[in-house]
Amino acid sequence: MLQLFPIQLFGMTLKGLDSSNDYDYQLGKLRRRVTNDGSISLYNENYKEGFHCNDGALQETVSKFFKPSELDRLKNADKVSILDVCIGLGYNTATLLNDILLRKQPVDWWGLEIDKRPLDFAIKNKILHKFCTTEVITYLERLSRQGSWEQKDTRGKVLWGDARVKIKDIPTKIKFDLILLDPFSPQKCPQLWNQEFLGYLSNKLSRDGRLITYCTASAIRKSLIKEGLKIFSILPTNKSNSKWSAGTIAINQKNNENMREFFKPLSKMELEHLETKSSVPYRDPTGMATKDEILMTRVKEQSQSILENTSSWKKRWKLAESA
């Protein structure tokens, strides 16, 4: 059973913030959440969605981001470059840095995030201290306080603000070995799942890089395919409630990887999912559209589409509850 509590941060109970405050209105009131594995997460009342799944914040991070990254494949690289899209409380970045820096391997880390509060909360409440080294905690504290860290040949920088805008501030020459895509779900935050933004991310992948996300939506997978990437399905763990996939990995066409321990090619069922109306992409050509504008545009395009109804696909594969 999940437990929700108002959280105390810098003398303010976020549950009680004045709803007329523009910052609070746009980003959402936050509530502390204890997930089923005992790790701490947050719940955003405006989005009506948690930062992590019910199974557990740490469990989700490990199974859907850390393990599929397969960091050992990068152990001989001169430097590991990482882009964390929506860093939230910092779980994804913390687990990766913990492993890479223990090997004394240089890191070039970038983050995109609009809301400073979750990371501030995680640092103040020492949520990540149980599984992170002192070095990693120090770097995250610097991100929270000043937005960056630099230590010899390891550095990190978070770009606060709308990711659609801030991604353009990352130097063109920088390509990433890992891109972690972890916003709220597409229906809740289509601004960061649209075809155009996914195109920006795809262009930032290194030759052997991986874009990793928990999302299995056919619209997202189809958009990544349209950007020239190969798509794989993350294998669900025994502890996961997912019946067929725990997420998506996208790689460049020139990358020769095919099947690894934690992911596999899309099944026939998943491939057929890409040919339904649910695969119609989210669109935001200007990079400034609101959530409602993006959703309305997609609904209109779906209504005009000749693709198979997604309900027929669900019925055929007996996925009425899980798809």
* Share of residues in the chain with pLDDT > 90 (%): 79
Is residue 259's pLDDT more than 90? no
pLDDT at site 2 = 39
pLDDT beyond 90 at 261: no
pTM for this model (two decimals): 0.90
**Average model confidence (pLDDT) for the chain?**
88
| CATH fold for the domain made of 3-273 | Rossmann fold (3.40.50)
Is the pLDDT score of 66 beyond 50?
yes
List pLDDT tens digits, range 193-202. 999 999 999 9
The predicted pLDDT at position 23 comes to: 37
pLDDT of residue 256: 73
The confidence score (pLDDT) of residue 27 equals: 75
pLDDT classification of 1: cutoffs 50, 70, 90: very low
Q: At residue 166, does pLDDT exceed 60?
A: yes
Please report, for residues 2, 39, 229, 299, the alpha-carbon distance to residue 280 in angstroms, rounded to integers and kept in the order given.
34, 36, 17, 9
* Percentage of residues of the chain with pLDDT beyond 70: 88
pLDDT of residue 20: 32
d(Cα 83, Cα 65) in Å, to the nearest integer? 12
